[in-house]
Amino acid sequence: MVDLENYMIQGEPDQRERGYIWHTAIGLQLADGLKTSDYLIATANKNINGDITLYEARKLVDDYYRARPAFAEDKTRIEEADKVSARIASILAEKTFSFSPVEYIAIHRSLFEGIYDFAGEIRDYNITKSEWALNGETVFYASAQSILSTLDYDFQREREFSYQVQQIRKNPHGTARQMAEQIGLSESTIKRVLATLKAAGLIIRVGSDKTGYWIAVD
């Protein structure tokens, strides 16, 4: 992804933004052990340069594989990597996201529709999966019976963290009690979230607990 990285460093503002979007989309495929094609990279470069829109880029990728049905048997899953990269880029460019299980499921359907029959569906069976990044070990997946409740919990935690960082940026001198009143959570919850964000390096406390202030790390 050398060309994309160059855009992120040396390109015009619009090119840098589009370069970052494609770099993220393709990088997510690499994290799953999938590699995109040279055609996808060339198409991404056309979009970054402003020669085509994201909609046109996505259509070009779809048409490319529609004319090459033999790729459906490709064991390296290049077609999947290309299509999903283009779809992720489209979603990231929209800059809208609501923290809810419904939105999460809708995104899953948008990314994998036409690739997997189960796109946008909640599985009703338990799974394990060998992960190359873990040397063949599996991660722990939620049981089929608890998926929705797990999603609700995770998104609630994410909302707490997101709102907390926003409040710190607005009022870095705010106390836990003030933040609790503004966000609508208990003071103990706010203190727990602050401790978690601090431990993760997302916020920094400057000065004492009484007279100091918070800094949100960009």
Token representation of residue 103:
């939105």
Q: What is the mean pLDDT of the chain?
A: 83
- With vertex at residue 127, the alpha carbon angle to CA 135 and CA 76, rounded to the nearest 5 degrees, is 55
Q: Which residues contact 34 (CB under 8 A, 6 or more apart)?
A: 76, 77, 78, 80, 81
Predicted confidence (pLDDT) at residue 2 exceeds the cutoff of 70: no
The three-state secondary structure class of 215 is: strand
Host domain of residue 202: 144-216
Residues in the chain, total: 218
> In this predicted structure, what is the pLDDT of residue 216?
84
| pLDDT bracket for residue 88 (50, 70, 90) | very high
- With vertex at residue 133, the alpha carbon angle to CA 132 and CA 138, rounded to the nearest 5 degrees, is 70
Question: 148 and 103, same structural domain?
Answer: no
HEC letters along 101-126: HHHHHHHHHHHHCCCCCCCCCCCCCC
- How many Å apart are CA 58 and CA 53, to the nearest integer? 9
- Give domain status of residue 134, yes or no: no
User: Among 27, 22, 26, which residue's Cα sits nearest to residue 7?
Assistant: 22
Which range, of 40-49, 75-84, 114-123, 188-197, averages the lowest pLDDT?
188-197
- Give domain status of residue 121, yes or no: no
Angle of helix 176-183 relative to helix 187-199, nearest 10 degrees, comes to 110
End residue of a domain, out of 54, 85, 107: 107
What's at 60, amino acid-wise? L
> Largest Cα–Cα distance of the chain, in whole Å?
67
End residue of a domain, out of 107, 127, 162: 107
Question: 88 and 173, same structural domain?
Answer: no
Output the pTM of the full model: 0.66
Number of independent structural domains in the chain: 2
Predicted confidence (pLDDT) at residue 32 exceeds the cutoff of 90: no
